[in-house]
Chain A
Amino acid sequence: MAKQLGRDQQGITLRGSAEIVAEFFSYGINSILYQRGIYPPETFTRVQKYGLTLLVTTDPELKNYLNNVVEQMKEWLYKCTVQRLVVVISSIENSEVLERWQFDIECDKAAKDDSAPREKSQKAIQDEIRSVIRQITATVTFLPLLETACAFDLLIYTDKDLAVPEKWEESGPQFIANSEEVRLRSFTTTIHKVNSSVAYKKDSFP
């Protein structure tokens, strides 16, 4: 398996880029779950990553679930067949979608063929990822409170002709009916570019 070349300036390969983006999703989803209070904060523990203190879950079932998704994402990112990852937060009782975190992925397909690693320092990518994660944390200041108990779902938009692997099934987009959308920062590894945005249900009163 081609390894990520070095820690410094030495360039990003396709597989390396896939790993970076998949790792970002893992930490990003954990942050969303913590900040939005989907799971009790006591079940999260602090780790150091990207020069930040991030919170990741210790719940084994949830960890397992997330690992499955992230592993699959890594594969699909490597093959450049995935277009978007969406975290849908919906109310448990009436299945109404309250929040929708959307991460668009643009993959440079040329990277699949030419095997020369791209020039971009790890540090620069880390800085960009750090800003996005910080923004996710800061969104709690303007996102409306999630009043009811909520559950989350992960949707992945892939190419049409992709073989659906076992344990996965097709689904609808689960849009929010009357939503406000906020674009967040994006980051790029020169092979994959990830744009983030969050859409939330507009408050019923003006």
Chain B
Amino acid sequence: MAQFVFEADLHGLLKLDTPIPNAPPARWQRKAKESGAPGPSPVGGMSPMKPANRSHSSSKTPSRTPGKSGSKIQSTPTKAGGDRYIPNRSTMQMDMANFLLTKENDPAEESPTKKEQQKAWAVNLNGFDIEEAKILRLSGKPQNAPEGYQNNLKVLYSQKMTPGSSRKNGRYIPSMPDRILDAPEIRNDYYLNLIDWSSQNFLAVALDNSVYLWNHTSGEIIQLLQMEHPDDYVSSVSWIKEGNYLAVGTSNAEVQLWDVQQQKRLRNMTSHSSRVGSLSWNSYILSSGARTGHIHHHDVRVAEHHVATLAGHTQEVCGLKWSLDGRYLASGGNDNLVNIWPSTQGDSGDFTPVQTFTQHQGAVKAVAWCPWQSNVLATGGGTSDRHIRIWNVCSGACLSAVDAHSQVCSILWSTNYKEFVSGHGFAQNQLVVWKYPTMAKVTELRGHTARVLNLTMSPDGVTVASAAADETLRLWRCFEMDPIKKKEKEKANSAKSSIIHQGIR
């Protein structure tokens, strides 16, 4: 008989479907052992093989290898019961379930110091003491957005080319800039106002700690000033209406006044305590906005120049513009507010804004008054907002709002057409010309390879200069006048001026 035993042994060893000897017990076996059920059949024995019961919440189909399961399945109590098919597992908390299931197996024996250590680790990892607090959440699956909704912020920020407008605009606007000027070391800071074009056709550009003047007619370049201290920089420039004086705001809170013909500094006005990022002229009053949120009015004719303080912003004032009739001052800040200030103080002697607009969700640097409609103001919001809004400052109503899909750094109204142009940042760094009041896009001017920082317009209203973080200035001829219309306009202008002359006499 011994040879049969030997044969059986050999068979047993050669059959590959026996449980592996000396393997770590499968979880189901461990649990079976604990609950006292009979363990797996001893190895090498001749008892029928039990097919290993797999984990019960798996979605495997019931049959394993066809041969085996047929005859040999023993109905083990509990666990099996067939597999359930569970179509959607996203609402199950597999981690939680697994944790709860395996928790019982862990030994609870611990020395006090070990407990301390564990507690310290727990506090470290969880950020709070587990014994002291617990975390609750409202049950039910987490809230989802409706099906098919794609987070359009991604679409927004990765937008490449927008499909062009199907309607052709009336006139031809060259898509390439007229000229490209080099602007090395220009500061890539959204909150500064580094270029301005004078009525005498000089373009002032602030490059880090120097200011250069570019003569548009002759093309020559003059370096007007350079800051004494290497760490200081110029934060804003603004020409007086006549074009002979240039106001310069600096990072060390000074407002300087320069005579460009003599290339001499006339005044150095200190009244702010932080950098002066925005400037605006109203005949002899120069208004300056600083990082603290304060706006100061300076009367440049008198020694005591600081004549008023306007406190309406809690963060940097980056947009500042007097209206063309000098009645209102519009200011936009990093606190997302737009304030409209009157030109004279109220009864209490303090300046209070006649309007405050809170609708922008981002810093407001682009502020521009409409030249042909009084009391109409255009504002543009930064990255968090991306909207251009048109306001009537008397009624406080928002006349229209349009999503520009990109950070708005500057808005300029055209004097030749009923349009305005806006400068943008990521992703296309383009200038967009809009028709007013329809708010239709006339054209988009692309070319800058980094975000546009500032825009300024030539005195004849034809060319727009844009300064961008790619260290270039591009001049775009977007408001070219039709020669016939130009003649008419000139005639009208000259007629107007002669009347004024007679009036003064």
Contact = CB atoms under 8 A, between A and B. Distances in A.
Interface residues of A, number: 54
B372 interface: no
Contacts of B143: 61-62, 65, 151-153
A51 B358 contact: yes
Given A36-B153, A147-B154, A149-B150, A138 B137 contact: no
A111 interface: no
Interface stretch (B125-133, B176-184, B224-232, B494-502): B125-133
Nearest to B151: A37
A125 B95 CA distance: 41
Given A40-B146, A151-B143, A167 B138 contact: yes
A137 interface: yes
A38 interface: yes
Of residues B135, B153, B314, which shows the largest number of chain A Cβ atoms within 10 Å of its Cβ? B135
B136 A164 contact: yes
A134 B381 CA distance: 14
B153 A156 contact: no
Contact of A158 (B125, B126, B136, B358): B136
A75 B50 CA distance: 57
Contacts of A95: 90
B336 interface: yes
A192 B162 CA distance: 48
A84 to B, nearest CB: 7
Contact of A83 (B133, B137, B150): B133
Interface in A1-46: 35-41, 46
Interface in B350-402: 358-359, 361-362, 383-384
A113 interface: no
B70 interface: no
A68 to B, nearest CB: 7
Given A37-B152, A37-B153, A53-B358, A155 B134 contact: no
Contacts of B127: 173
B305 to A, nearest CB: 31
Nearest to A92: B144
A156 B153 CA distance: 28
Interface in A151-168: 151-160, 162, 164, 167-168
B440 to A, nearest CB: 21
B131 A160 contact: yes
Interface in A127-183: 131, 134, 137-138, 140-141, 145-160, 162, 164, 167-173, 175
A7 B359 CA distance: 24
B137 A168 contact: yes
Contact of A41 (B131, B135, B152, B335): B152
Nearest to A81: B133
B149 interface: yes
A69 interface: yes
Contacts of B151: 36-38, 146-150
B142 interface: yes
Contacts of B78: none
B121 interface: no
A115 interface: no
A90 B93 CA distance: 14
Nearest to B140: A167
B132 A39 contact: no
Contacts of A175: 125-126
Interface of B: 90, 95-96, 125-128, 131-140, 142-146, 149-154, 157-158, 314, 335-336, 358-359, 361-362, 383-384
Given A37-B151, A52-B358, A150-B145, 7 more contacts: A38-B145, A40-B149, A48-B358, A141-B383, A146-B154, A154-B137, A172-B96
Interface of A: 35-41, 46, 48, 51-53, 61-62, 65, 68-69, 83-84, 90, 92, 95, 131, 134, 137-138, 140-141, 145-160, 162, 164, 167-173, 175
22 contacts: A37-B153, A37-B154, A38-B151, A40-B145, A40-B152, A46-B359, A65-B138, A84-B128, A134-B336, A141-B384, A146-B153, A147-B154, A149-B145, A151-B142, A155-B136, A158-B134, A158-B136, A159-B134, A171-B96, A171-B135, A172-B96, A175-B125
Identify the 5 closest CB pairs spanning chains A and B, nearest first.
A37-B153, A37-B151, A171-B137, A153-B142, A151-B142
